[in-house]
Amino acid sequence: MKRIFLFLAILVFSGTVCADGKMPEPKVVKINERVYVLLGPLGQPSAHNQGYMVNSTVIVGDQGVILVDSGGTDEVGRQIDRTIARITPKPVTHVINTHHHGDHTLGNVAFKGAEILSSEQCKVLVEKTGMDWVRIMESMIGHKLPNTRPVPASLTFAEDTRAERNLQGVRLVLWVPHGSHTPGDMMVYLPDDKILIGGDILVNTIIPNMRDANIHNWIGALAKVQDFDAAAIVPGHGPLMTMPDVVRLQRIMTDFYAGVEAGYKKGLTDSEIRGALNLDGWKGLKEYETTMGGNISRAYLEVEVANF
């Protein structure tokens, strides 16, 4: 059933990655009459992708659009806005940020007048680290971003809550799990559409980035994701997911954490654990080379604190 559903999702515009200096186009996937996913290019921010490397979800409501995740620069936000204009003439009235990382939030500035929603911790972290993210983006894409500045949420939700809201005639469940990918994640579930939007708690074909993570909580959140009745699952990066993909992600994360913990309990150092871990389930994922070393260090620190 889920496979059929995804198969039927209509490819409206096909994505292209342009030469350096040109903003790429997202691949637009129509999930149903009112929900579209904008699949961004996959990878780290670069001169090639101009900081556009995130997925966004466009929910067309009665009078306006609810956008989930706004892109990594003001220019990416404008590219997303132009893409939305090809779907509907309605303006973006709400932007939901799934977490504070710059690739998901720095496009907020392009949606003037829209109400921004996030978890409480996301708002705090956008205020605290937003300008650092602008600098990180500038150095990765290789040019200045004079018009990009962090815009924190004006409406926030506390950790470990699920709030139901009706925005533009669309029912949304805003779930703030215990901090997982970051201290302030939010997932969005559309009960009438059976669509779950995961932010970076869910990523597909690319390695999950644990730099700001609580891996133990993350594994717990992945278990709870499996309770949702979701015909379509939107990851923060990579192609649309199915529930078996979520199960697989939970399994490799669980085995990874257990492997680091077992090594720690044997008295192995961070680098000895690196050599001893079975990483077969991870090696085929994009950005393995750039991200896995940092993930192991992060897991080691978390295990050390948990076993102190």
Q: Which two tokens stand for residue 99?
A: 């977490």
User: Could you tell me which residues come within 8 angstroms of residue 204 by beta carbon, excluding any fewer than 6 positions away?
Assistant: 235, 237, 238, 239, 240, 241, 245
CB of 217 to Zn ion, least distance (A): 17
Q: Interface with Zn ion includes 212 (CB under 5 A)?
A: no
CA–CA dist 47, 68 (Å, integer): 24
CB of 102 to Zn ion, least distance (A): 9
Q: Can you spell out the DSSP letters for 172-216?
A: EEEEE-SSSSSTT--EEEETTTTEEE-GGGSBSSBPPP-TT--HH
CB of 236 to Zn ion, least distance (A): 5
Integer angstrom CA distances of residue 238 from 66, 116, 130, 205, 274: 21, 24, 24, 6, 26
CB of 244 to Zn ion, least distance (A): 22
Task: List binders of Zn ion among 80-99 (CB under 5 A).
Answer: none
CB of 116 to Zn ion, least distance (A): 17
Helix 215-225 × helix 243-265 angle, to 10°: 150
Please, which residue, 167 or 240, has the CB nearer to Zn ion? 240
Contact track, Zn ion, 226-265, x by CB under 5 A: ----------x-----------------------------
Q: Is the dihedral of CA 160, 225, 67, 207 positive or negative?
A: positive
Please, which residue, 44 or 168, has the CB nearer to Zn ion? 44
Contact track, Zn ion, 168-207, x by CB under 5 A: --------------------------------x-------
Number of chain positions touching Zn ion (CB under 5 A): 4
Please, which residue, 139 or 269, has the CB nearer to Zn ion? 139
Please, which residue, 64 or 102, has the CB nearer to Zn ion? 102
Please, which residue, 93 or 97, has the CB nearer to Zn ion? 97
Please, which residue, 109 or 213, has the CB nearer to Zn ion? 213
CA–CA dist 308, 302 (Å, integer): 10
CB of 204 to Zn ion, least distance (A): 12
CB of 264 to Zn ion, least distance (A): 28
Helix or strand holding residue 39 (H, E): strand 35-39
CB of 63 to Zn ion, least distance (A): 29
Q: Which two tokens stand for residue 144?
A: 């200045």
User: Could you tell me which residues come within 8 angstroms of residue 250 by beta carbon, excluding any fewer than 6 positions away?
Assistant: 219, 222, 223, 226
Please, which residue, 42 or 190, has the CB nearer to Zn ion? 42
Q: Which amino acid is at 198?
A: G
Contact track, Zn ion, 98-117, x by CB under 5 A: ---x-x--------------
The residue ranges that bind Zn ion (CB under 5 A) are: 101, 103, 200, 236
